[in-house]
Structure 1
């Protein structure tokens, strides 16, 4: 599951940075200065990268055994500026905490 987490973390950061560039630079240029070149190029890049983000989030969620609601929330995190960074940290804690927790042993006495 470590490789899936690494893939997710990398694409979450990339999607977050590209979305911030789109919102902070592209949108003001488009609507304030009537120059849509940044929105046209960065917007398409973000759209493609967001699809890669969805695949990485889905892969990680299936490997980690998350419920559907958690998977959907993590997937939506790439659509709001700065939220993908928060989600990446939270997901990393979930996955590393899940990996560190000992698995129950079958037929072990319950105390």
Structure 2
């Protein structure tokens, strides 16, 4: 389960960065909305998968509420998922 969480966390972090650093600038600076829908959809699906896996890991590894909320909060902060993966899952 941890392996899948690490993969999804990395992909979710990348999708958030693509959305913020590629798709949104293309929309607002160049009036090109072609990247918004695919980037937003990918990020949305990966975000949901991240939260579901975080909940499953909370149950499996008996995380406290503080750790669980921190892991969930990291999913909305750029580079947050990379930090969580490094801090909590670097040994696995």
Using structure 1 for the length normalisation, give the TM-score.
Answer: 0.77
Q: Pairwise CA RMSD of aligned residues?
A: 1.4
CA deviation vs aligned residue, 1:67-95 (integer Å, no higher than 9, x gap): 112101101211111111011111215x7
Aligned to 2:8: 11
| Structure 1 ranges of 4+ moved more than 3 A | none
- The yes-or-no answer on 1:44 pairing with 2:41 is yes
Between the aligned partners of 1:35 and 1:69, the Cα distance in structure 2 is 40
Q: SS state of the match for residue 63, structure 2?
A: coil
Between the aligned partners of 2:88 and 2:41, the Cα distance in structure 1 is 26
Using structure 2 for the length normalisation, give the TM-score.
Answer: 0.91
Unaligned residue ranges in structure 2 (runs of 5+): none
Aligned to 1:100: none
Unaligned residue ranges in structure 1 (runs of 5+): 97-111
Q: Greater CA radius of gyration, 1 or 2?
A: 1
Aligned to 2:27: 30
Aligned to 1:82: 79
